[in-house]
């Protein structure tokens, strides 16, 4: 059993990862500054002797003793990462330098939660790991996209220069319970709007595509990646290759919630990628993994989570 550090552990993905690692018998140290994460996400783990929480901002150095590091700290939704773009870049870049420095000192294996955004608005479809991307370096999304690209560079330079054991996963759109209800990401937005009987906001004409992965599948792939042989670094795509238009997603959410919400159209945000679909051949071959939960099942679980959240808030 290992001592594992999860940065961003009080966030959506981080809290599921901490839960799974504790369940596997590891000692987990969760580090988070609560920018988008919350104590509620990890409340069920507090008191477990295998779980420890530390409030800390990864842009500052951290001195702890661990065997593995999952580096997830970074706001992930466009609303949150554009709120303080300079801090977003600092979190990705200074955060990566600090966590890589820590990994170097204690000889820990370190995994970076990178993103499909490194491909930008892709000209290659579906996206393969060898594609270098099509990213605007000076736009509203750049703080996130370029911050994550620079973090990947740092990981590979620490690997080449210092022989660190690194893993880089490129995560595609993932959804599920514990998404922040106001974080503006499309799945949580549509569900919260539909359950509240409010208009469903389709940006643009809704023909842009995304491929949605349920959180449990994603966490399984992340842990399998951490456990690959030392000579495997990635980058490796993880996500669900089934592609939907945003309009199809809206219609499915409305049907499943039996909502009377109407679809309304709003301007497309700048640099919004037209299409996104992971090629997961590498994950299939190296991890023996592919997603098992389809959109309908995943939406059912997510809708029931938001229903209970809204009910609790109303009481
Ligand atoms: P999230 O916003 O729920 O979680 C991010 C966590 O990081 C939060 O708990 C936040 O408080 C914490 N954090 C932010 N800045 C920090 C800092 N400076 N120091 C310490 N903690 C800090 O988002 P998420 O969806 O759980 O994403 C987790 C990671 O996965 C992110 O790195 C994100 O870029 C990556 N990712 C997620 C998706 C997705 O679809 N969910 C897709 C691609 C990549
Ligand atoms: N989107 C939308 N309505 C919303 C929120 C998002 O139409 O209320 C669109 C958004 O423009 C994008 C897609 O849904 O094309 C996915 O957006 P999200 O912010 O979830 O993730 P990302 O753009 O980072 O993939």
Q: Is the pLDDT of residue 56 over 90?
A: yes
Domains parsed from the chain with CATH numbers: 3-175+214-240+278-292 (3.40.50.720)
Q: Is the pLDDT of residue 183 over 90?
A: no
The confidence score (pLDDT) of residue 315 equals 84
| Most ligand 2 atoms within 8 A of CB, residue of 118, 203, 247 to mutate | 203
Angstrom CA distances, 101 to 33, 62, 95, 151, stand at 19, 9, 10, 13
The confidence score (pLDDT) of residue 155 equals 99
Report how far ligand 2's centroid is from the alpha carbon of 11 (Å).
19
The confidence score (pLDDT) of residue 1 equals 86
Tens digits of per-residue pLDDT, 111-152? 999 999 999 999 999 999 999 999 999 999 999 999 999 999
Tens digits of per-residue pLDDT, 249-281? 999 999 999 999 999 999 999 999 999 999 999
* Helix-, strand-, coil-residue percentages of the chain, each rounded to 5: 40, 20, 40
Cα–Cα distance measured from residue 44 to residue 19, given in angstroms and rounded to the nearest whole number:
9
- Judging by DSSP bridges, how do beta strands 68-71 and 174-175 pair with one another? unpaired
- Predicted confidence band at 314 (pLDDT cuts at 50, 70, 90)? confident
Nearest CA to ligand 2 atom 10: 203
Q: Is the CB of 244 under 6 A from ligand 2?
A: no
Q: What is the mean pLDDT of residues 14-23?
A: 98
Tens digits of per-residue pLDDT, 154-165? 999 999 999 999
What Rg, from alpha-carbon coordinates, does the chain have?
Answer: 19
Tens digits of per-residue pLDDT, 191-230? 999 999 999 999 999 999 999 999 999 999 999 999 999 9
- Predicted confidence band at 34 (pLDDT cuts at 50, 70, 90)? very high
- Predicted confidence band at 313 (pLDDT cuts at 50, 70, 90)? confident
The confidence score (pLDDT) of residue 207 equals 97
Nearest CA to ligand 2 atom 11: 203
Establish whether 119 is a catalytic residue: no
């Amino acid at each position: 059993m290992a001592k594992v550090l999860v940065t961003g552990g009080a966030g959506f993905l981080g809290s599921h990862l901490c839960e799974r690692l504790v369940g596997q018998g590891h000692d987990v140290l969760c580090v988070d500054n609560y920018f988008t994460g919350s104590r509620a996400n990890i409340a069920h783990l507090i008191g477990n002797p295998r779980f420890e929480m530390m409030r800390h901002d990864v842009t500052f150095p951290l001195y702890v003793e661990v065997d593995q590091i999952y580096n997830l700290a970074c706001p992930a939704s466009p609303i949150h990462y554009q709120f303080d773009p300079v801090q977003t870049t600092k979190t990705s870049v200074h955060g990566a330098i600090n966590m890589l420095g820590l990994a170097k000192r204690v000889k820990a294996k370190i995994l970076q939660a990178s993103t499909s955004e490194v491909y930008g608005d892709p000209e290659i479809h579906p996206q393969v790991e060898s594609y270098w991307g099509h990213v605007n370096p000076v736009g509203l999304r750049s703080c996130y996209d370029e911050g994550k690209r620079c973090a990947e560079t740092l990981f590979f330079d620490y690997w080449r220069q210092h022989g660190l054991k690194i893993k880089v996963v490129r995560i595609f759109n993932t959804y599920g319970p514990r998404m922040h209800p106001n974080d503006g990401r499309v799945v949580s937005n549509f569900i919260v709007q539909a359950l509240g009987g409010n208009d469903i906001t389709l940006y643009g004409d809704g023909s842009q595509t995304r491929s949605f992965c349920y959180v449990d599948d994603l966490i399984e792939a992340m842990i399998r990646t951490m456990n690959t042989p030392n000579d495997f670094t990635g980058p490796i795509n993880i996500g669900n290759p089934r592609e939907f238009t945003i309009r199809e997603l809206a219609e499915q959410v409305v049907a499943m919630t039996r909502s009377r919400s109407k679809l309304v159209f709003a301007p497309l945000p700048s640099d919004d990628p037209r299409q996104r679909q992971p090629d997961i051949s590498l994950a299939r071959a190296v991890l023996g993994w592919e997603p098992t939960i389809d959109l309908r099942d995943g939406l059912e679980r997510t809708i029931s989570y938001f229903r209970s959240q809204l009910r609790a808030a109303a009481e």
